[in-house]
Amino acid sequence: MGTTDTDTGDRSPLPVSTSVVVAAVVIPLVLLVVVLVLVRDVREDAADAAASEPVTAVTLPSPGAGSAECAALVGGLPDSLGEARRVALTEPAPPGAAAYRMPDSAPVVVRCGLDAPPGFTVGTTLQEVNGVQWFNEPDPDPAVTASTWVAVDRPEYVAVTLPDGSGTGPIQDLSDALTATLDLVEPRPAPIG
């Protein structure tokens, strides 16, 4: 029988190049960063697309929507109201209306030429913002968190519906637009009863 020669001696590990170690650490890190950046960009693109989608607004009775005052106001509205950016209305668009979207894509709708708000009666509390008198009437449905504010001291009633948490920027900017385009008139609240 033959003898087998088995080497059981110590073998020293093969030396690993420093560049191989660096590459083994850096390449996965670079790939991870690239993937994270791509995911963030896709998410931002989706949010930007949602924030620029047209807004659908229902048609409400608005006898003054075709007036010269409403045409001047809608034509003179700024590109933004606070953080909300102006977007198109889906067709058929209600007359005398304009739409905006908040960064989270919540809609903001401005309407001109509406009827007087039903709750706007003598003694009603108004809020003045940048020289414009605003009336707020809560929605009768407690589940509705949006609020509608109506400018009551212009020749046409102008309403803005704001999502919850939109802040005061939209009303401030809309007040500035109203002051620039529509004359001031004495508010006309309905008698009580």
Residue 16 lies in a domain: no
Residue 121 lies in a domain: yes
Residue 115 lies in a domain: yes
pLDDT along the chain (193 residues), means of 10: 55 70 74 70 56 89 96 97 96 95 95 94 95 89 88 98 92 97 96 85
Domain assignment of residue 126, given as a range: 68-181
Closest Cα partner for 105 from 169, 158, 46, 150? 46
Residue 53 lies in a domain: no
Residue 85 lies in a domain: yes
Number of domain units in the chain = 1
Q: Which two tokens stand for residue 154?
A: 């212009």
Q: Can you tell me the distance from the alpha carbon of 151 to that of 72, in angstroms, rounded to the nearest whole number? A: 16
Provide the pLDDT for residue 73.
97
CATH assignment of the domain containing 137:
3.40.1000
pTM of the predicted structure, to 2 decimals: 0.74
Residue 54 lies in a domain: no
Q: Is the peptide bond before 92 cis (omega within 30 degrees of 0)?
A: yes
Provide the pLDDT for residue 52.
85
Is there a contact between 159 and 115 (Cβ–Cβ < 8 Å)? no
Sign of CA dihedral 17, 20, 21, 26: positive
Closest Cα partner for 151 from 167, 166, 180, 142? 180
